[in-house]
Amino acid sequence: MPYKYYKKVIIFLVFLLTFTIVSAQSVDQIKQNIDSHSEKIKQLEEEIKVYEKQIETIGGEAKTLQNAIKVLDINQKKLGAEIKKTETNIQKTNLIIKNLSGEIGDLEEKIASNVEAISKILNDINQKDDQSLIESFLTNKSLADVFDEYESISQFQQKVRAKSKELEIYKNELFDKKTDTETEKKKLVSLKTELSDQNKILNLNKKEKNSLLTTTKNKETEYKKILAERQAEKERFERELFQFESQLKFILDPNQIPKSGKIFGTPLDDVSITQRFGDTDFARSGAYNGKGHNGLDFRASVGTPIKSSLSGEVVSAIDNENVYGCGYGRWVMIRHDNGLNTLYAHLSVISVSKGQLVQTGQIIGYSGQTGYATGPHLHFGLFVSEAVKITTFRCKNGKTVTTPAAAFNAYLDPMLYF
């Protein structure tokens, strides 16, 4: 091959090498930042676990004002760590998007330049090909030189085509990453919503602490009085609910509900059941008017994300605001296509609205201890859809709460469907 062709090939290869080195440096820097953020997230997760353990320990101790204040203080630290974790996750996700977008943009520019260079070289080759064999023979020393040149040109053409195909394949692979970019952008929107919710929970936690200190005047006797009033209110509420549900009649057709099996996912990532369905020890102690516990209780410190156990439609998203010691507090109910409804109660923040369609695993709210709850937890209920009634009750403090109710045989044991 003549020198001018080798020269163009060398220039072309140097261009590719230089571009690759520059891109690699930029990509490596972004990846290092992503790894750094991942490490920070792990550290914050460990910090959050420590706070959760402390809350669990204090929660198991005597119900005193000082312990209640301690829990609120630790909750504040935990929520602060969760906010930092979410902020770091947002930064990490932005870096991932930047990395993906940069790789795609760099490669498109690289391929465009490559195509332009190849086009120029091929144009020169085509001009060379326009010479007849006789013309080439007359301008060369021998016929062997002519054939050698044409063979070299042919080999170079094949290499150019192969390189172009290789780059095109790589480009297609990176275009697949555009899908990943869109996924990360959706995650980013979700994280920003989560951050907003976590800030709401933090403010509610501070408000609850101030309210508790104001109400009790930092006196243990006043706190004990509040606990006694809430217990009395709980018992009164349960009696009224029991009387109402006793009047509800429902003929359960087993063929209209799914058979037991792994149908629902758990509403929390880390599962710890504190009270099961039905005839529990707490129920035998006199709670629930002897009818047993109508759901599952999960341990969940304030601000723990609560997720939909199955896709469906939000049929109720009730914020019984500022109602403590009475009913389910803030709660969400989702109707599923299999004839069952799930209930998520005692939430601190609700993240969905009535009529919204949700997917399995989607965050629908955050755990708390609104309504009557001796501590932060999630009450998870499972109902036959047709039997659920939404009704209202008046609490002792004069506030009205909205709550779900059903005939006793329409409550199902969630454990049969996990």
CATH number of the domain bearing residue 352: 2.70.70.10
Residue 94 scores a pLDDT above 50: yes
pTM score of the predicted model: 0.80
- What CA–CA distance (Å, rounded) separates 231 from 225? 10
pLDDT at residue 383, as a whole number: 94
Give the domain extent around 225.
219-417
Q: Is residue 212 part of a domain?
A: no
Confidence of residue 380 (pLDDT cuts 50, 70, 90): very high
Tell which of 149, 169, 201 closes a domain: 201
* CA nearest to 368, candidates 324, 336, 414: 324
Residue 40 lies in a domain: yes
Looking at residue 326, its pLDDT comes to: 82
Whether residue 346 lies inside any domain: the answer is yes
- Quick one: pLDDT at residue 407? 92
Q: Which residue has the higher pLDDT, 283 or 343?
A: 343
Are 47 and 88 in contact by the 8 Å Cβ rule? The answer is: no
Residue found by looking up tokens 């010691």 in the block: 325
- Res 1: pLDDT: 46
Look at the alpha carbons of 345, 349, 353, 356 in this order and tell me if their dihedral is positive or negative: negative
152 and 82, same structural domain? yes
Q: What is the C-alpha separation between 87 and 83, in angstroms, rounded?
A: 6
Q: Are residues 264 and 290 in the same domain?
A: yes
Pair 223, 196 in one domain: no
- What b/e readout covers 120-155, taking b as 16+ CB neighbours within 10 angstroms? ebeeebeeeeeeeeeebeeeeeeeeebeebbeebee
More confident call, 126 vs 342: 342
Amino acid at 302: V
Is residue 266 domain-shared with residue 193, that is, in the same domain? no
pLDDT of 366 > 90? The answer is: yes
Cβ–Cβ under 8 Å, residues 330 and 391: no
Q: Answer yes or no: are the C-beta atoms of 314 and 333 closer than 8 Å.
A: yes
Is residue 207 a part of any domain in this protein?
no
Q: What is the pLDDT of residue 10?
A: 42
The pair phi, psi for residue 297, each rounded to 5°, is -105, 130
Same domain, 236 and 190: no
Residue with tokens 């880390």: 270
Mean pLDDT of the chain: 84
* 354 domain-assigned: yes
Ranking 95-109, 222-236, 250-264, 378-392 by mean pLDDT, the lowest is 95-109
Whether residue 27 has pLDDT greater than 50: yes
Please report, rounded to a whole number, the percentage of residues in the chain having pLDDT higher than 70. Answer: 79
Confidence class of residue 411 from pLDDT cuts 50, 70 and 90?
Answer: very high
| CA 235 to mean position of chain CA atoms | 37
* Bridge partners for 350 per DSSP: 365
Same domain for 269 and 334?
yes
Residue 17 has pLDDT above 50, yes or no: no
User: Which residues does residue 123 pair with via DSSP β-bridges, in sequence order?
Assistant: none
pLDDT digits (tens, 9 = 90+) for 133-184: 555 555 655 656 655 665 666 676 676 677 677 777 777 877 788 889 899 9
* 214 in any annotated domain: no
pLDDT band at residue 282 using 50, 70 and 90 as cut-offs: low
Q: Determine phi and psi for 127, rounding to 5 degrees.
A: -65, -40
Q: What is the mean pLDDT of residues 108-132?
A: 67
Residue 72 is assigned to a structural domain of this protein = yes
CA 183 to chain centre: 12
* 326 occurs within a structural domain: yes
- Helical (H) or strand (E) element with 270: none
